[in-house]
């Protein structure tokens, strides 16, 4: 029985290439199919198609027409909803319920949200009187950058890809996307939807491949790419930033995190336990916003550790389509090995293992997958590598604290600055502390709740720039001021 071949999508057509690589299931290690790998000439062909689209029919779409097209794309994903779910689950091993309620649902919402924002967006207009007495008017207009390179990650493949594609197209850009080599399937399905929706040739292009000396490097170093947006690890972001310096291209980076959850003694205890379980173990900890450092006020510390241990040990690990499953596999055996190395390092650094710390045994095909147990540690010193480096797995370390100033200092003592979750009933404290955390996002008594109109991004090693709402439209646009003296 032959396996599927996932092809590139360039200038409105699917294109195969000679070189391929395997797409392996993280659930049971079986071969899902083969994926075409782009060489430099093929990436150049994709960029050329995107550049040509800026002079073709796509260039003449009005904002209203682009908004209508985004809605057509959203409806196309909705029509093929279960196919997207199946592809996302096959590539990632995540629970089917998560793929339905988060990943694919959010992809539809991304296109609908930016269609609405595009219709509502306006320009700035100012008037002033010049020295010679004339009334002068200045207004701004948005223009596309041209060709935007989109590099998306494997942890939330469709969600984060569409988070970038939707506003880029809304602003009239042409895009060349490179999804992670670990998760190529939903990007290919999205190309099919683009074709069905009638997206003009060259406006949306897809190339598969890897990073160094492959599609990622060929794309980000191409001189005809006008802007680059990337979500992924910080080291890769630094490499792309060096490439973007040639030609001084626009960049937007959402990078890694070593996020904290802060739990005060006055919190709603059950809600805080449930919230930290969710923020630590959703998607097997493979979300850049997950909490890997948890600080609990000392009066409730022992009780909180016990409750978190009980909750973690009740999480069901299993096949994506099992009833009640909470956690699937990690993305790959390679990534599981990295996480397991940190499990060993934590013990060497003095951690007390509260729960987990091993590979579950199933006695079936899942033993060939990339599973690990949800894991809790205590007693690590703040300088431990396991508290300084992003692990990106289902793990958190729990530590006590005694004062606001202490926990503020410890939370901010990080090279990262993406998100913090704060659990307290004292809203005065919540407002004051939230301003002082050196992060791009603070959740108070919740986690992963997003209004897509708000800015999103990180500080320091967690990223550069903001996307979401008007901020996405600003990044994906070249803004020109026109000054008129009547």
In the predicted structure, residue 320 carries a pLDDT above the cut 80: yes
* Catalytic-role residue among 37, 88, 181, 254: 254
- pLDDT tens column, 221-241: 999 999 999 999 888 988 999
Q: pTM for the full model? A: 0.96
Residue 335 confidence class, pLDDT cut points 50, 70, 90: very high
Look up tokens 């600003």; give the residue.
474
- pLDDT tens column, 426-435: 999 999 999 9
How confident is the model over 411-431, as a mean pLDDT?
A: 97
How confident is the model over 448-470, as a mean pLDDT?
A: 93
Query: Quick check: is 254 catalytic?
Result: yes
- pLDDT tens column, 249-298: 999 999 999 999 999 999 999 999 999 999 999 999 999 999 999 999 99
In the predicted structure, residue 338 carries a pLDDT above the cut 70: yes
pLDDT score of 431: 97
% of the chain exceeding 70 in pLDDT? 100
Q: What is the DSSP annotation of 443-475?
A: EES-SS---TTS-B--EETTEES-BSHHHHHHH
In the predicted structure, residue 449 carries a pLDDT above the cut 90: yes
How confident is the model over 391-402, as a mean pLDDT?
A: 98
CA distance linking residue 249 with residue 94, whole number of Å? 35
Whole-number average pLDDT of the chain: 96
How confident is the model over 3-29, as a mean pLDDT?
A: 96
pLDDT score of 123: 86
pLDDT score of 2: 64
Residue 206 confidence class, pLDDT cut points 50, 70, 90: very high
Distances (CA, A) of 274 to 7, 266, 292, 327, 356: 42, 16, 15, 15, 18
Distances (CA, A) of 241 to 85, 171, 180, 247, 409: 33, 23, 18, 11, 30
């Amino acid at each position: 029985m032959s396996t599927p071949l996932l092809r590139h999508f360039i200038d409105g057509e699917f294109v195969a290439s000679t070189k391929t690589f395997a797409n392996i299931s993280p659930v049971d290690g079986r071969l899902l199919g083969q994926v075409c790998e782009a060489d430099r000439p093929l990436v150049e062909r994709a960029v050329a198609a995107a550049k040509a689209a800026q002079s073709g029919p796509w260039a003449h779409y009005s904002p209203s027409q682009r908004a209508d097209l985004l809605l057509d794309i959203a409806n196309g994903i909705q029509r093929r909803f279960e196919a997207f779910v199946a592809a996302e689950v096959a590539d990632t091993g995540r629970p089917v319920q998560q793929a339905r309620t988060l990943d694919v649902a959010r992809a539809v919402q991304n296109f609908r949200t930016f269609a609405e924002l595009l219709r509502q967006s306006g320009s700035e207009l100012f008037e002033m009187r010049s020295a010679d007495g004339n009334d002068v008017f200045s207004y701004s207009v948005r223009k596309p950058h041209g060709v935007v390179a989109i590099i998306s990650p494997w942890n939330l493949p469709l969600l984060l890809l569409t988070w970038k594609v939707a506003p880029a197209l809304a602003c009239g850009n042409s895009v060349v996307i490179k999804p992670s080599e670990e998760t190529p399937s939903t990007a290919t399905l999205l190309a099919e939807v683009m074709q069905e929706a009638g997206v003009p040739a060259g406006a949306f292009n897809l190339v598969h491949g890897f990073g160094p000396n492959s599609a990622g490097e060929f794309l980000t170093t191409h001189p005809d790419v006008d802007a680059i947006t990337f979500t992924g690890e910080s080291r890769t972001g630094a490499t792309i930033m060096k490439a973007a310096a040639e030609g001084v291209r626009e960049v937007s980076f959402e990078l890694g995190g070593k996020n904290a959850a802060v739990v005060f003694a006055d919190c709603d205890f059950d809600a805080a336990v449930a919230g930290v379980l969710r923020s630590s173990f959703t998607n097997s900890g493979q979300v850049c916003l997950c909490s890997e450092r948890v600080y609990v006020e000392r009066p409730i510390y022992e009780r909180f550790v016990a409750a978190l241990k009980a909750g973690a040990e009740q999480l069901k690990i299993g096949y994506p389509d099992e009833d009640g499953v909470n956690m699937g596999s990690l993305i790959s055996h390679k990534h599981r090995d990295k996480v397991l190395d940190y499990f060993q390092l934590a013990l060497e650094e003095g951690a007390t293992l509260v729960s987990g710390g091993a590979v579950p045994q199933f006695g079936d095909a899942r033993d060939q997958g990339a599973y690990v147990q949800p894991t809790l540690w205590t007693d690590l010193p703040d300088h431990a590598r396991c508290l300084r480096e992003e692990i990106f797995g289902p793990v958190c370390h729990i530590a006590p604290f005694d004062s606001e100033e202490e926990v503020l200092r410890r939370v901010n003592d990080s090279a990262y600055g993406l998100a913090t979750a704060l659990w307290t009933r004292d809203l005065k404290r919540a407002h004051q502390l939230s301003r002082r955390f050196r992060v791009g996002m603070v959740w108070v008594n919740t986690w992963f709740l997003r209004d897509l109109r708000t800015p999103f991004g990180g500080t320091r090693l967690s990223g550069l720039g903001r996307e979401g709402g008007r901020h996405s439209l600003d990044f994906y646009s070249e803004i020109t001021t026109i000054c008129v003296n009547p």
